[in-house]
Structure 1
Amino acid sequence: MKIKNLTERDQNILHALYRFRTFTTPQIYRLFFSNNKTRDYCWQRMSYLKRDGYIMAKPVVKNGKRDTHSYFLTAKGMETLKSKGIVDKTAFAKDLQLSGYRMIYANLVNEIYVQLKPYGFEMWDSRQVKNIYELDRNSLIQGCLVAPDQREYGIYLLTADPEEKTVAKVISEIKKNFNIKYYMVLCSTPDAFTNFERVLKYEETRIRSSVSLLPYDDALIVLKTIGTEEQRVALYQKYGAVRNVEKGAFPYTVVHNGEVKYVCENLHNSTGVRRRLSLYTSHEFKREGRKVLLLIRKGFMQELQEEFKHYPHFEYKIILKSDLLDQIESREYPQI
């Protein structure tokens, strides 16, 4: 028996496939069926939409075995969206379909949105970002993550061991597109992180935007725990009474061990934070008289201490990954 009428959820699924090109079965479940205890109804509804020609599916293979399916919009699905006024631009479903590595890559990018949506984040797909900021259609940018406090992060994802020309192109785009104030480069492998970090350090002084470089999983953890200014202040409050400073080297001070200090976090591994730290020289410290309490992940601490070895007025406090994970588990978020 065919579907008589598409539900609002069916239409939302089709629209999501239009915007983000593809989602896997587990991703569809978390986005649209999380109120159901099992995936059975999700699988059944997607099979109906596939049977009736609104979507198509391709197998996702891992380690030589089919792991799940990845769904795409069909011509019928596209025409349905147009007829209901959900999309008005001319597009062809075949242009949205992906295969092989490009499909796996898209699923990895879309997982960012799937995981962060319950935490109040939205995400613009790459086409929307390029349109809003008038970027070249061949830009490598993968989208724009919009935090609950409306801060926008241009997103790049690097997998495996990226070619030198790929790293150079990403850096060039970030340097050129400074209307995006914040970027986040997520790396799915250690090689990707190391290779991009080396080039970023060389080009850092030529980049006007703030660039955060993090391993893929770490970036998601950080965004879930301190993805907003309110969460950042809550973190600072664990170390003493916090006060906002209108005119100062840093936006906040904290009363720590009986002393008023500036407080700053760099869990994002941000070039913008390092730039601000570098400006607070010993001369500035003598003028203002406030030390800096810097909250940092253990893996970045040694390198940061070396970079600021001539800044004895900096104090460091390690934030453990386990503490951030505990913080995530202790919170309750509404279902999507």
Structure 2
Amino acid sequence: MDIFKDMVVDYHDKLDKRRLAILCDLVKFRALTTNQIRDKYFGGKGNNVNNVLSRLRKSGYIKTGSVKGSREGKKGYPYHTITESGIEILFANGKEFEYEPRKPHFQEFQVRYIVQTNDILLYLEEEGWQSLNSRDVKFKYNLDKRSNILGELTSPDKENYAVYVFERNTDVRTIGRIQSEIVTQASSIPNAIIFTKGKNSFNKFVELGLKKGLHTGGKVKLIPSHLGVPIFSAFPKELDWVRELGKHINFEVVSTEKEGGSAKQSFPYLIRHNGEEKYFVDMSFTDLSQLHKLEAYARSNYRWEKKRVLVSYMLGNSIDLMSKQVSSITDTEQLSYDSFLEMVNGFQFDSDMF
């Protein structure tokens, strides 16, 4: 077998590092557009990417299609997937994988969701996050193959998040199934991030989540992609985001559960705000699970802890969700869009797919 392996490499010529890396990414991400590959491996410029992809295609290592509906009135953006020959040449070049690489199998309508999600995963990997594609996540946690999960993100703090991406007007039945998944799989993946493209999907998720009483033991972060990607890029560690928020809305972190705080804290962050010690809850992500915890605290623990809660938010409807009882024990501060842009250094999430 070793002799045969050497013959394969000699016959095909050993691929350079860049072509090997592109093929490895096609294993990892399942499908990538030409622009995604250009941005990562060619500095976002030039047409040399087309020459490299053409050679890989002629060698039988990749296949190319178009993302239907990605450009109105025009042929869709080209995307690429690896072939069995592409996987074989990776093994012949000594590449190893945590999960068994397989030729991707998905339906045409799924391509758009896959490359949309990959836009996010690629951005965040550059900032220290780790990611898995949907197939590997299902294998890792033994999830139902029919699950709607699109991937997993792991922060530098080792917090795992199930990843979902909503179109501008995702069907409410799909949203309901996803909310059920988030709750069911919380023992395996305790947190979730849901990126939305428009108000309709965002509002549907909130309305249905409130009706169903959506909550888990973790975080369920719902955020428009044009806000969420810059935040998670600039602040891969949640504590850094919280401390930066403090500079803009005038509070100081006193302790956290992870850094010397009390294990009995009702919320992870204890702060000093306007000369008073309070808990801090960030509703910038319209987290219905956090909202449930606020309601529970207002009903019980506040009676003996007597600590008010400072709640920060960006979108106005996040605060409108709080009951009168919660509002009576909270102080609120809204982060302005100008402050947000300053915090993320003006970064704007620019994507063909969004």
TM-score (norm 1): 0.85
2:3 maps to what in 1? none
2:279 maps to what in 1? 262
2:150 maps to what in 1? 142
2:202 maps to what in 1? 193
Aligned to 1:62, the other structure's residue is in SS state: coil
Aligned residue identity for 2:270: T
Q: Deviations over 1:290-311 (max 9, x none)?
A: 322111113334413x424554
> Which segment is superposed worse, 52-61 or 171-180?
52-61
CA distance in 1, matches of 2:61, 2:300: 66
CA contact (8 A) 1:266 1:295 kept: yes
Distance 1:308 1:46, change over 3 A: farther
CA contact (8 A) 1:175 1:206 kept: yes
Equivalent residues in 2 for 1:97-116 (5 A)?
99=108, 101-116=109-124
Following superposition, the deviation at residue 79 of structure 1 comes to 1.7
Distance 1:39 1:148, change over 3 A: farther
CA contact (8 A) 1:156 1:186 kept: yes
Distance 1:172 1:290, change over 3 A: closer
Distance 1:286 1:206, change over 3 A: closer
CA distance in 2, matches of 1:50, 1:205: 46
> Which segment is superposed worse, 112-121 or 279-288?
279-288
Q: Note the residue ranges of structure 1 that are not aligned, 5 or more in a row.
A: 332-336
CA contact (8 A) 1:160 1:189 kept: yes
1:47 maps to what in 2? 54
Q: Note the residue ranges of structure 2 that are not aligned, 5 or more in a row.
A: 1-10, 256-260, 348-354
Distance 1:190 1:22, change over 3 A: same
Q: Deviations over 1:26-85 (max 9, x none)?
A: 211222233xx7233333322222233222222345112236421111232122123335
1:243 maps to what in 2? 254
CA contact (8 A) 1:175 1:209 kept: no
Aligned to 1:260, the other structure's residue is in SS state: strand
CA contact (8 A) 2:166 2:195 kept: yes
2:352 maps to what in 1? none
CA distance in 2, matches of 1:175, 1:285: 26
Considering only aligned residues, what root-mean-square deviation do their CA atoms show, in Å? 2.7
Aligned to 1:144, the other structure's residue is in SS state: strand
Aligned residue identity for 1:125: N
Aligned residue identity for 1:259: E
Following superposition, the deviation at residue 142 of structure 1 comes to 0.7
TM-score (norm 2): 0.81
Aligned residue identity for 1:319: L
Following superposition, the deviation at residue 6 of structure 1 comes to 0.6
> Which segment is superposed worse, 115-124 or 223-232?
223-232
Q: How many residues align structurally?
A: 325
2:229 maps to what in 1? 220
Following superposition, the deviation at residue 174 of structure 1 comes to 1.9
1:276 maps to what in 2? 293
Residue 39 of structure 2 is aligned to residue 23 of structure 1:
no
CA distance in 1, matches of 2:156, 2:13: 37
2:7 maps to what in 1? none
> Which segment is superposed worse, 201-210 or 12-21?
201-210
Aligned to 1:123, the other structure's residue is in SS state: strand
Aligned to 2:265, the other structure's residue is in SS state: coil
Equivalent residues in 2 for 1:123-162 (5 A)?
123-162=131-170
2:351 maps to what in 1? none
CA distance in 1, matches of 2:319, 2:106: 45
CA distance in 2, matches of 1:313, 1:223: 29
> Which segment is superposed worse, 130-139 or 246-255?
246-255
